[in-house]
Amino acid sequence: MGAPLIPLPGGAEMRVTGVVGAAAVVCVNGGQAAGAPGTWSATLEWLVARLSPRFPGIAFAEVRYRVKSWTRLDWCEEDARAAIAAVGALRTLIVGFSMGGAVAVLSADAPGVEGVLGLAPWLPERLDLSRLRGRRLDVLHGRLDRALPGIPGVSPSNSRRGFERARSLGVEGTYRVIPGAVHGVAVRAPVGLLPLPRARRWAALAGERIERWAAA
């Protein structure tokens, strides 16, 4: 994408699209069970490329974890918090894809964070949602999303239960299912990023929620 790489403590990295100012969207990726070096998210990269021109006053920061695994969720949280601090915006929205939804929730009480936008977020029952108090939680999820043999996924019922648990704590927000959408927005291929079904709808709805946050 051409954005400069910014090293973070512990071996993680961040890249920022746009000029850092008062507002930033920090994007955190999904993961897997086995420990593996972090990678850039095709879903988040595709969305940033389309949304950042629409919001020139907002910096979009993507995080590459040191290790992308839910067995090291504590490290992923540390990497997200380090990125939020490194951007240094007065106002921050965290966008979390898949496992990144849990990472975003755990990082929601970092200074300046005003809300979380979960994209097919993994919100397990054991996840502490109390850090969302005083902040918003908006969720977008593909109706056809589910885990299959050899194919990652998160059932919409998982994120819905997590959303309802957050609502029971007094957290405000919205929950939206996208018909025809699967887990993720884009995949990486030799020819570049390939959008998945309903990718434009993902971008439109995510943009609406970022616009509402920016205008608040």
At 54-112, the pLDDT tens digits run: 999 999 999 999 999 888 999 999 999 999 999 999 999 999 999 999 999 999 999 99
Mean of all residue pLDDT scores within the chain: 95
Whether the model pTM is above 0.85: yes
pLDDT at 2: 63
Q: Give the range of the structural domain holding residue 154, as residue numbers without chain letter.
A: 5-215
Nearest alpha carbon to residue 119 among 195, 190, 182, 60? 182
Q: What is the CATH classification number for the domain harbouring 201?
A: 3.40.50.1820
pLDDT over 80 (residue 149): no
Structural domain total, the chain: 1
pLDDT tens sequence across 189-198: 999 999 999 9
Residue 157 CA to residue 142 CA, distance in Å, equals 11
CB distance 106 to 131 below 8 Å: yes
Look at residue 165 and tell me whether its pLDDT is greater than 90: yes
* The pair of three-digit structure tokens given for residue 109, joined into one six-digit string: 């009480």
> What CA–CA distance (Å, rounded) separates 207 from 212?
9
Backbone angles phi, psi at 148, to 5 degrees: -125, 160
Report how far Cα 29 is from the mean position of its chain's Cα atoms.
6
Q: Are 24 and 89 in contact (CB under 8 A)?
A: yes
Residue 1 pLDDT: 47
Rounded CA-CA distance 196/45 in Å is 13
Residues 6 or more apart whose CB falls under 8 angstroms from that of 157 comprise: none
Mean pLDDT of the region 127-137:
97
What is the SS3 assignment for 157? helix
Q: How far is CA 78 from the centre of its chain?
A: 15
Measured at the CA of 156, the angle between CA 151 and CA 158, to 5 degrees, comes to 95
